[in-house]
Structure 1
Amino acid sequence: QDYLGMRNEYVDMTEIIRRIEEEIYDKEEYEKALVWVKRNCPEGEDRNREGLKHFRSQKDKEWEMVVKMTLIARDLMIGNQRLADLGFVEEAEGHNALAAGFQGQRQWTDHFPNGDFMETILNTSFDWNGIREALVFATENDSLNGISMLFNHLLTDRAQIFSDIRTYWSPEAVKRVTGKELPGLAKDGILHLINSGATTLDATGQQKEDGKSTMKPFWEITEEEVKRCLENTKWSPANLEYFRGGGYSSTFYTKGVMPVTMVRTNLIKGLGPVSQIAEGYTV
């Protein structure tokens, strides 16, 4: 607020439960979305140990809930005239949000499905309604990451990747562990980017420009590229030792070599916001 002159608003996560239980969402769009998900979002391998895995009936309920969560989060951000038509005039207004986020952990995710599906779809340049501008939506309600994503989105008109930097693998470490040397663009080492599974599907590398992988502005994306992004993604049941409430996490490899710019904004006491920028390539 102080630095950017932008107002932020807080909405308690119980608002999502209220809207689910009181059915404050477009039921027709929900049914459409659920059909689309069943056709285009295949489940990945359930790697939870036996005795911990959720039953099929519970998994189906989780799919239903994460779709509703996605609809509701979008409505909270940008509003939905359809809600006014249904009698929910106040809820139809939304918050006119440029960016948003969802805390989830741990009070929500210990009991309800995690936000991975919701965060992935909102950050992606398409959904059951077709190709559209990606929304900026931060995992764990990480506002500083969210504002970094917003900067990049407004600068490039492209979807943004939310991923954690888990590991730096130096050439020496790779050689010691695998016996192999890193070639080409990776010769100076690699950063391992991963999270629970909340990264835009644009990052699959299935969009092409001059035959090379890229992430396009939404108006340049083709239906064939949407199809390839979906076909190269599995939705793995959430790790129940982390997310007791279940949910589904996008699982894919980024194919092709793409130039990327990473940004992280931090608030430093006595100084203010500081952005760290790193440039490189996906490998």
Structure 2
Amino acid sequence: MSGRPQQNSACLIVQGPDRPGLVAAVSALIARNGANISTLDQVSDNADGGNFFQRVVFQHPELTTALSKIEADLESTLTPLGMQWQLTDQSVPKRVAILASTSDHCLLELLWRHRRGEMNISIPMVISNHTNTAEDVRSFGIPFFHVPSQGPDKSEAEAQILELLRGKVDFIVLARYMQILSAEFLDEVGVPVINIHHSFLPAFIGAAPYRRAKERGVKLIGATSHYVTKDLDEGPIIEQDVTRVDHSMDAAALQIRGALVERAVLSRAVEWHAEDRVIRHGNQTIVFS
């Protein structure tokens, strides 16, 4: 995989009820529009009346002018079959806003990988309820905005964040943003939100999870990245990973090891979402990684 924009390349996502001939129909549609398939992945959760999921990447020498014709063909061909589809121009990086708090490991990992061209994204802004990361963020040439969020009423802070985001982002990443987003905010923002947290849930809910994990003598620690929904930490999972720990590590060492996993898991989730490799289906995901 490459994070760099792919000129004259498009990605088609198809999902819906499985039936014979879907792969042939999609392939024929792309061919008759003068495009060439470079990647094709699909899966059915039950070949006998189940659900079909497909990701196709194709190239067209004049993609910009051809997109509207391809979209019209998709509408007339796939929509009558009950299929949902999404077509994106891979030369256009997705715009992602990052929300962070005091912990900087996930934030800096994303900024570093973005600067190295490893992700097909642009980062128009970083928003934080603290100022300790402002200088680091600006050193990457990324605008930094401080929006304090204190007390039980987060409505004013959320309104400020919405004003900053409106019309400027395609998705949002919570890089250890230690604030709970309201259902009203999620409805209003209108774009996917990706979160990262340790994988101790639900065993060690709340503060100091690594200290309590040490007290319990855990042998594995990990991280989970998922889409944010109105149900706290219960959205569709995009990626997870674990690493082994042992009795010689104190809580601080566990937290350092856990931060490494968090960075890797969140980076993969952001990369896959940016490349349209993730299909949401109910509270699950299909990830063509």
Q: TM-score if structure 2 supplies the norm length?
A: 0.29
Q: Which has the larger radius of gyration?
A: 2
Q: TM-score with structure 1 length normalisation? A: 0.30
The structure where strand makes up a greater share of residues is: 2
